[in-house]
């Protein structure tokens, strides 16, 4: 049995200019301990589909699916209180903008301890001990002192480490990482990615990694789902996808990798395919 199974997920937003279908009938699954990468252009519904799993979309969103099963339970139809017991405890999520994801008014120690208060029976001393352990685990130096820091006193990379600590606080079975390195400096991106990969291997949790970067996919994922215009256009294990991409959009993504450059500039997707050709590939 897969850890997470999504069947025919559709998300439509009510907007002033009418309904906007951000996710169109997407199905996917992630097994225990597996790393699934979701790749696709900006606006292809990657984040929205994962926010739908977390139940974090605004009221303007209508979410329908045959089911969203986590560990055998259909979380789509759970009562909000029941769903909150799973979200944040068994499924953790980290986002693109770590500084914006943290509350600027509270210390990072307080914010991690609040997560533990919500989801565990640990007493105050136990929560403090676990918070220090988590900060140590994500590579924050002098964790006992850093507990008292506010987000603005830390760098973007350190804030992302704190977000990772918070997401892992209750030993989740699944971590959803939504472009976790996009907002960071290039040198820090590699450190955060290595941290995530190491933590995933150490803990054995499953991970869904949303990214634009096929280089990141090659380094981290077991399987890849490619999204284009709200639809899933291809899914394959990493080796097969890199060796024999089937969809024109996937081929275009791979052609844009730096190592594929032959002239003095990188090829861009429009150099290869016109929009209608990419869409035609959806039925291929």
Binding residues for ligand ATP (CB under 6 A): 13, 15, 20, 22, 40, 42-48, 58, 60
Looking at the Cβ atoms of 60 and 62, the one nearer to ligand ATP is 60
Q: Which is nearer to ligand ATP, 223 or 229 (CB)?
A: 229
User: Is the CB of 135 or the CB of 183 nearer to ligand ATP?
Assistant: 183
Distance CA 181, CA 189 (A): 5
What are the C-alpha distances in Å from 32 to residues 29, 145, 204, 222, 231? Answer: 10, 35, 8, 12, 24
Nearer to ligand ATP among residue 4 and residue 154 (C-beta): 4
> At its nearest, how many Å lie between ligand ATP and the CB of residue 156?
17
Report the C-alpha gap between 248 and 274 in whole angstroms. 10
CA-to-CA distance for 275 and 277, rounded, in angstroms?
Answer: 5
Closer residue to ligand ATP (CB): 70 or 95: 95
Least distance (Å) between residue 180 CB and ligand ATP? 12
To ligand ATP, the closest distance from the beta carbon of 207 in angstroms equals: 17
Q: Give min distance, CB of 41 to ligand ATP, in A.
A: 7
Q: Are 51 and 57 in contact (CB under 8 A)?
A: yes
Check: CB of residue 51 under 8 Å from CB of residue 59: no
In whole angstroms, the minimum distance from the beta carbon of 229 to ligand ATP comes to 9
The angle subtended at Cα 139 by Cα 53 and Cα 36, nearest 5°, is 30
């Amino acid at each position: 049995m897969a850890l997470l199974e999504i069947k025919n997920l559709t998300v439509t937003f009510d907007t002033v200019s009418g309904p906007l279908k951000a996710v169109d009938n997407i199905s996917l699954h992630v097994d225990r301990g597996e790393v699934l990468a979701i790749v696709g252009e900006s606006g292809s519904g990657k984040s929205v589909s994962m926010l739908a799993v977390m139940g974090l979309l605004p009221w303007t969103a209508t979410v329908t699916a045959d089911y969203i099963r986590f560990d055998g339970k259909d979380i789509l139809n759970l009562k909000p209180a029941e769903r909150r017991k799973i979200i944040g405890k068994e499924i953790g999520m980290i986002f693109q903008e770590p500084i914006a994801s943290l509350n600027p008014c509270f210390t990072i120690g307080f914010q991690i301890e609040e997560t533990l208060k919500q989801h565990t029976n640990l007493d105050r001393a136990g929560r403090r001990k676990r918070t220090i352990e988590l900060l140590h685990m994500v590579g924050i130096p002098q964790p006992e002192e850093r507990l008292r820091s506010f987000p603005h006193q830390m760098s973007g990379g350190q804030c992302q480490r704190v977000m990772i600590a918070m997401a892992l606080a209750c030993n989740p079975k699944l971590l959803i990482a939504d472009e976790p390195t996009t907002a960071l400096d290039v040198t820090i991106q590699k450190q955060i990615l290595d941290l995530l990969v190491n933590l995933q291997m150490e803990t054995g949790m499953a991970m869904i990694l949303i990214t634009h970067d096929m280089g990141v996919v090659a380094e981290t994922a077991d399987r890849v789902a490619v999204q284009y215009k709200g639809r899933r256009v291809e899914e394959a294990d990493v080796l097969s996808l890199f060796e024999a991409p089937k969809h024109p959009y996937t081929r275009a993504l791979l052609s844009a990798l730096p190592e594929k450059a032959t002239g003095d500039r990188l090829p861009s997707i429009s150099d290869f395919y016109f929009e209608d050709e990419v869409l035609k590939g959806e039925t291929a």
